[in-house]
Structure formats: structure tokens, C-alpha cells
Structure 1
Amino acid sequence: MNLHHLRIFYTVAQRRSITAAAGDLLLSQPAVSLQLKALEKELGVSLFERGGPKLRLTQAGEVLYRSAVSILHAKDEAERAITELRDGTKGRLILGAGTTGGMYVLPQIVQAYKRQWPETEIVFHIGTTDQILEKLLQNVLDMGMAGGPIEDRRFVVEPICTDELVLIAAPSHPIASLGKVTLKDLGGVPFVVPETGSRTRQLVERKLREAGVPLRIAMQLPGTEGVKKAVEAGLGIGMVSRYAVETECLAGVLRLVPLDGWRLTRTMHLVYRSQKYFSPVGERFRDFAKAYGAEHLGQGSHVTTMSKHGRG
């Protein structure tokens, strides 16, 4: 088994089709089939179930796929690092973030960075915090951004900015005319919340639980944009990052509801694997992101390496 075999297997597993994988690899379909059969013969197992319209991985195929992901990304990272060391100017960064960081914070940093270094290629992955951390461990991502603590010794977390969660409502919603709102005022009020596992949702649930206020969920939607649209339609109130609603509040389609005696904040962190090798481009972006956060977004506290595993 060699890297060429692994690349073919990985591509077929991703595409679930020999024909589609052959097109991606610029190989003929018979050539891909032959390489797969040779790999299965060498390993002494079947890697795919071939009965339906789409190929499915066998149990052995799942095991090999997990290893192939790490091996191929490590190879790609090594080649990329060597290229960047060689020329010192061009490079590629793969970044990951949750919805808030990926849609509202990280783009600001990347836009400012690209003004100075336009030749750097930057790729985004959006996912839950757990998904981003897993991709960091697999070397799929160079860096990630996440809100709240990352309590895992395998990662380094560096504060970038403080994010405030704000209470939003449609202008016609009764709560929008109450003036300042206490936690007790929220008891029984229908909430629109993001999906289970969202760090934003976890913060809101914890705050209400600590105050003994029941959370009445009217609707659950994936991502901040869905929450905003549902709130705008009057289906409930919601809490989202202040960064996410600046445009809607200026346009008057959403209203910030003032809070009386309480607030919710979190630190947005840059996250990367401990012992991570950074190319010159990676080091430059990391330093730029920290400086930009401190100057333009309001930086949090010192660098930490945490000791317990955190979920989100």
C-alpha cells in the first residue's frame, strides 16, 4: 500500500462513486477499479459494499478511511510547509470556525490580512466547535476560532476578542416595548434557539438555568442566520452575537432589547494544536489575528493551554 493507493481509496470513499472519483483524479474508470481491487487484495478485505447505486464503506473501509484522512492531510501539510519555506511569500491557510466566528469575526480579520498579503490563499470550514477541534487534531485545519473555553491539553487557545450575546426581537414583539428586561421577564417567553451543541445555546441555557428561569423553546434552527430570520418573522425572541445583528438593527428589522442587571459575554479564541508546526505564512496570520483583535475588536486575556476536554 502506498500514498497513490490511499489517495485513490480516499477519493472514491468521499465521492461514493468510482466514475466520479476517476474524473476528480483524471484517471480512467478501469484504472481506478483496478487500483482498488489491488489494494483490497493486498489487505485481504473488502473495502466497499458495491450492491446499491452508491458505494458504501465496509467496517474495514471505515478503519482505513480514518487513517487515510490523517495520512493524506499530513502529507499535504508537509508539502505545503516546504513550499512556503522555499518561497516565503505565497502560502495556503485552512481555517475553521463555528457560525459566529466563521461568519462575523474571522472574515473581518481575513479581509484586513488580505489587504497586506493578497497572495495568501485562505480556505474556510464552518462547523460546530467539536467538529473544528477534531479537524485540528487530524491536521485538516491549520487554526480554528471558537467561543468560550477550550479545556483540552492538546490545544493552545489565544484570545482574540470579547463577544457579547444580545437579546433580539422583532420590533412588533411585546418584549421589545418593555424597556429593560430582567432574567425573570424571560420566563415562559418563546425562544428561537440554534441547534443542540451550539456554544451560544449552551451559554443561554446555563444563564437561565442558574437564575431558575425555564427556557421555552418555540423553534430550533441550524445557525445564527436561521435564528435571526425566525425572530424577524415574530416567531420568538433570541440571543445571538452582537457581531451578527449590526446590519439588521440598523435597518430596523430587528431590535436590541436592553438587559437589566445581567449580560452574557464570551471570549473568542484562536485555537491550534499543541506542538503545531507553523509555516511562515501561518505564523504571520496568527500574529496578525491577535494584533487585529487587540486593536479593532477588543482582546481578552493571556494565552492558555487547558487541562480538561471541553465540548461544544
Structure 2
Amino acid sequence: MNLHALKIFYTIALTGSVTQAAARLNISQPAITAQIKKFEKELNVVLFEPKGRGVALTLIGQKLIEPVGRLFTLENRIESMIEDYRIHGSGKLHVAGTYLATSFLIPKWAARFKSNYAETEVTITTANSQEVLDKLMNYVVDIAICGGEPEFYPEEVEREELYKDEVWFVVAPDHKFANRHITFSQMVTEPFIMREEGSATRERLFALCRTNRVQSPRVALQFSGLNETIHAVASGYGASFISSLAASEFIRRGELARVYVDKLFAMNTISLCTRKNEKYEPCVKAFISIVHENLDGINSK
């Protein structure tokens, strides 16, 4: 397939205009038009149709845009890796983690890593579990650290379990369920403050509802961060379902309270993920070694 023509297609799709694509690619407008016509003829499909002063994707064009975008994201990542290695010698390390991982686990590992490999630039990104895995699969990051049950992970991911953590129901200290033992059915009648879709703990709660054949709780408030969720619950509205690693300090200080749901014991498994069958760069191997060397303190909490 003609990758140059594919890039032209992608640029036109992003800009919605042959003129703007020509300016971005530094190619004349007639040349771009001719190459797209030739490309459509080779593929025997129509990719664009006129729309106002610009163009719009046809149905097949719309289907192609996502995989083509992933292709060029990978191309940019490869170019960036080569450039990083050329400039920095030891390269850059890109790690993505969930809010729990980047708040409680990764900072210690990153500090140890930098003390040994000061010349390596380390970038840490925070996102929910699904977004973290997407970044890994799209070669945006080298390592992903996130939570979720085994079936949550794509087959292309190599997963190593690092830490098992209880997941607790929490409310404000003056809530009617604070420090009480109740049934799961009672618990899910409360309005819940939850993370966004793609959060492993959110998916875990809904899976428990399906398993126990109870109606999923109403998501009254939704936040894209763990701290925001905790503070909203502490403010006195609703309940949430969060990691004990994140909740325990707030409970110790009296800002949150547990709710003990009878016959329900939920665990969150935090895993280190890489791309399957991929040879690790030296900095990736070194970071993983540091993670292994510093697990005891976490698992003893």
C-alpha cells in the first residue's frame, strides 16, 4: 500500500480540506488532488465526497480513519524513540499508570530509577486503566501499571501481578451506613460517586452487581480522578468503591468511614504490563528490576 498517499488521506481527513492539507504537507493542491484520485483508483473505493467548501469522509473513509490514525501514531512513536536514543544516548522511559499507581506506587520506583540512571528522561502519565492499556498498545508508553481482572487485558499484553489490594465501600463519617455491616443490596441503593468509564474499580463494581444479580447503583457524580472522588465522598454525599491503599489514610484521619458489606470480599490486582514478545530496551529492563526489588514494602502494608 502507498503509505505516502495514505498520509495524504489522513491529513485531509484531519483538516477537512485539501487546501489545508496541502499547506500542512507542503505539497501543491493539484498534486494532492491527483494523488488522492490515483489512490482511490488503486483501492477501487471513494474516500471523500464534497461538503461545502471542503470535503467529508465517505463511509469507507470513516472506517479507515481510526486504524490509519493508529498507524501514524506508531510511526511518530518510532521516530521519537530513535530521536530520543540519538540525543539522550540512554533514551527516554515512558510509563503510564492509573491514579492509584501514580499516587502510591510509581513515584518511589521512579525516584530509585533516576538515582541510578540520571541521564534517562522519565515521563509518567496518569489515566484510567483502559486508557493506560491503549497507550501501551499504541506504543505511546513502554510500561503500563494498572488494575483489573485477567479478562480485562488484551491478548497482546504481557501481564505480571504486582500487588493485591482490597477494594472498600466508603462513605462520609456521619453517613447512615458508616462503620455498619449491611447487605450488598442495601449498599447499591445509595447514590455513588464514581470514576469515569474505563476505570477498573468501576468495572469491578458493576461486575459484582451482575454476579450477585442486583441492580447497579446510580452514578450520581462522576470524576476523572481518584482524589476528586475521595474528597466528594468525604464532603457528605453518596458512597464510593475505592482501593484500600487510597482510602486507608483518609479513614485513619476520620475523613472517611468504611461500610462492611456482608459476604462480599473484593480485591483489586495491580499489574505491570508490557507488550508481549517484545525485546525490552535497557531502561525498561532496569525499571522493571527496580519494581521487583521494591515490592516487599508495598505488599506488607
TM score, norm. by length of structure 2:
0.72
Answer whether contact 1:162 1:297 (CA < 8 A) is retained.
Answer: no
- 2:201 counterpart residue number: 200
Q: Deviations over 1:64-93 (max 9, x none)?
A: 434433433444454455567768843233
Query: Closer, same or farther in 2 for the Cα pair 1:260/1:246, shift >3 Å?
Result: closer
**1:15-42: CA deviations, max 9, x gaps?**
657788788x6x66xx375564244123
Tell me how far apart the structure 2 counterparts of residues 123 and 2 of structure 1 sit (CA, whole Å).
Answer: 35
After superposition, residues 84-123 of structure 1 pair within 5 angstroms as: 89-101=89-101, 104-118=104-118, 119-122=120-123
Q: Do the aligned partners of residues 52 and 89 (structure 1) sit closer, same or farther apart at CA in structure 2, a change above 3 Å counting?
A: same
Question: Could you list the per-position Cα deviations for residues 213-244 of structure 1 after superposition, in whole angstroms to 9, with x for gaps in the alignment?
Answer: 65542515143345334423322111112343
Higher relative contact order (CA 8 A, sep 6+): 1
Query: Shift of the alpha carbon at 1:43?
Result: 0.8
Match of 2:258 in 1: 257
- Contact persistence 1:49–1:58 (CA under 8 A): yes
Superposed CA offset, 1:103-145 (max 9, x none): 554455434434443432425262452x544444443443322
- The CA deviation at 1:53 is 8.6
| Cα distance in structure 1, aligned partners of 2:241 and 2:279 | 37
CA contact (8 A) 2:16 2:55 kept: yes
Change (3 A) 1:48 1:32: farther
Q: Note the C-alpha offset of 1:48.
A: 4.7
1:235 partner letter: Y
Q: Determine if contact 2:192/2:239 at 8 Å carries over to the other structure.
A: yes
Structure 2 distance, partners of 1:174, 1:257, is: 11
Aligned residue for 1:304?
A: none
* Regions of 4+ moved over 6 Å: 17-23, 84-88
For normalisation by structure 1, the TM-score amounts to 0.70
**Identical-residue share of aligned pairs (%):** 24
Question: Which segments of 5 or more consecutive residues in structure 2 lack a partner in the other structure?
Answer: none
Please tell me whether the aligned partners of residues 143 and 272 of structure 2 are also in contact (alpha carbons under 8 angstroms): yes
Query: Which has the higher mean CA deviation after the structures are superposed, 167-176 or 51-60?
Result: 51-60
Instruction: Report the residue type matching 2:160 in the other structure.
Output: E
Tell me the distance in 1 between the aligned counterparts of 2:53 and 2:163. 48
In the comparison of the two structures, how many residue pairs are matched?
290
CA distance in 1, matches of 2:53, 2:293: 51
Distance 2:113 2:181 in 1: 39
